[in-house]
Structure 1
Amino acid sequence: MLTVAVLISGTGSNLRALLDAAADPSYPARIVVVGADREAEGLAHAEAYGIPSFTVPWHEHESREAWAAEVDAQLRVWNPDLVVLSGLMRLLPPSFVAGWAPHLINTHPAHLPEFPGAHAVRDALAAGATQTGASVIVVDDGVDTGPILAQERIDVLPGDTEHSLHERIKPVERRLLIDVVRRIAEGSLALDAARAASPS
């Protein structure tokens, strides 16, 4: 059984989708802990499912490295097989990434390498793109530059706003994430191989 930790900043919609999937006895992964960088709304999902959680407030640490070191210490208590970033709005320092890679994955609301960064949906609309998408990647030291594990195209419709387009992307992100975690757990998706195959 693959053990998973999830790190969040907000409402935790991807977290909730993973918790729902893991509630099925046939799903080969279990979430063992949820962490947040603030008193995030999504921690309520962990509580509802009886999953332990921790909070490491960003503002209480003098540097990104000090904050990440405390997050790392909390995760090491549980020693998960996989860490999922689920809307965590913090750039993790290289020391943290090196400690968990390649067992550190993230979702992104674009068809990478198109539109990396924090405003992917807005950027797609500003560029006049006719399609965008959703991706699941291995986290590396860049901004959304890690090996791509799964992705899917999504049409940009006439009249789309940032909100309407993002709302259509989210369910695809969740589905891709649930499938990627399943494939990692079943051994049909090897994260070490994905990293080795990624261009340096």
Structure 2
Amino acid sequence: PTETAMPPTSRAFLARLLHGARNALLVGGIAVSVGFTLGVAAGLLAGYLGRHWDGALSLLMEALYALPGLLLALLLAALMGPGIYSSMLAVGLSMVPAFFRVARAGAMALKAAPFVEAALALGAPPGWVMRRHLLPNLLGPLLVQASLAFAAALLAEAALSYLGLGVQPPNPSLGRMLREAQSFLPLSPYPALVPGLALSLAVLGFNLLGDGLRDRLDPRR
């Protein structure tokens, strides 16, 4: 085989693997932050204010939830061009409905609590009540959702990079390493095995973290 068809050396492969993992964590962190911020804000407004706010925001979230993440990534790639920023935005927007549902359900359950009614009786505005009373009491389930969403974001980023819509060359990514490793499989399996194993362990770790946070933050325990 020619030199271009040979698998990379161990040192170059390790460097690409570490940089690809860093890019995956960066995309996952920004995407979860986008989904968390937009979803929690919309969920608190819909759950606490209700009426027209609840109807409009719930309809918007249902429309966003019905839009596949890959189709949303294709749309953003057409508008912004394929790259790390469009993949961050696409993965983040696909996570907004999940955070919205958690925040909305919690706000609806807590808005009739005695401490909320006491704050309203003292003249506290709705924004202050949501920020000082509702949000701190919802951090437990929201953190659990964030850890699970991070694992999903890693898989989504790898899928987008595999299809050429995520991180672009020369920046490495785990998804593109898996795609490039297909041509090396007859020569050596490790260019495909190692990135896949790293991605699987990262997803497993964040899922286990979510399970641990759920058990730790459950008030019934």
TM-score of the superposed pair, with normalisation by structure 1: 0.26
Larger Rg: 2
TM-score of the superposed pair, with normalisation by structure 2: 0.24
More helix by share: 2
Higher RCO by CA contacts (8 Å cutoff, separation 6 or greater): 2
